[in-house]
Amino acid sequence: MSSFFTLLLWAWLMASSFIVSGYMEAFASPIATSAFRFLLALLILFPVLLFSWQRAGLSKAEQFKALFASRQRLFHYVVISGALVGFFIGLFVALQSTTPLNTSVLYTLVPLIGVLITRVWLKEIAPLWRVIGFVLGSIGAMTVLFSTQGFSTQGFSTQGIDGFQWHSGDYIFVGACFLLALHVVSVQKWGRSLGALSGAFMIMLFGTLWLLPVALIWGELSQVQWLSQDFWVTILYLTVFTTLFTFVLQQRLVMTAGASRLLAFSYTIPVWVALFTALTQSRLLSLVDWPFASGIVFLSVALFLIDGNLSKVKITDGSNSTEK
């Protein structure tokens, strides 16, 4: 039960990231915002990590050195963080030639892509009822998105866009979704040797190293509103709650609950965004219609199929198997 509420907390924080990130467009480019979030999160997490080692009675110097002692581990985290950064860059590039609605809809395919990756890479054979659950989850999330596309939100939204039409940027975003699913699955595959804090630190470190050159070249840093109070309030929320907390929670959840379960709960993100948007616009009654309700039903059935019996499934990573 505790993992269920932790998964919900992760989904809530992710939903708030989509919403709050939209407000940052007035202060900085998306690339500059992402790079600064990673860098600031890294600077905050580092002393927290040192304190955790000290509290556990471990040598900080030895623990820090051990993080970089294995070349194989370094390569793994270069790939893990690179896949995550690739998703963000792919999203930003795709939005130049597609719509927020399209990216929101295509984002619901990430769990299905994750199932495919785990089947090919981790040799995990998903039972038919779980595959059906993921399909229903995608249908439910898309139904929720289409039923609320008249809302005017800042981030995970449609902003008056009518319907779904394929654009050239959608090809790019499908590739970005593959990278995001690869990121989550690769954490399950390679992240077992580190704790949640250490793993999150490594992802932020290499993610920052990936993003800084990109931000320096294409981040439009001269346009960043560094002196705006709203810029700092928004970036601090994004850094602390939707970067630090979500990274640490994701590390812990992938190891304890499994990548499939984490991906499954990402289906609920459009629901939380829709509820928050309707609440702030005093339009809660607008959600009381059959399309939104049917989407919720699809999602509920999907989560039951994916999450209800997941503890009975053995996940094999190629070398050993554990109960998830």
Domain ranges of the chain: 2-323
48-93 pLDDT tens trace:
999 999 999 999 999 999 999 999 999 999 999 999 999 999 999 9
Residue pLDDT, tens place only, 246-292? 989 998 898 888 888 898 999 999 889 888 888 877 788 878 888 89
Q: Please give the pLDDT value at position 276.
A: 85
Strand partners, 315: 322
pLDDT at 311: 44
Neighbours of 42 (CB within 10 A): 21
Task: State the Cα–Cα distance between residues 7 and 4, nearest whole angstrom.
Answer: 5
* pTM for the full predicted model: 0.85
Strand partners, 322: 315
Q: Are 3 and 257 in contact (CB under 8 A)?
A: yes
The yes-or-no verdict on residue 41 having pLDDT over 90 is yes
Give the Å distances, CA to CA, from 95 to 98, 99, 103, 155, 158.
5, 6, 8, 12, 12
pLDDT attached to residue 239: 95
Whether the predicted pLDDT of 309 surpasses 80: no
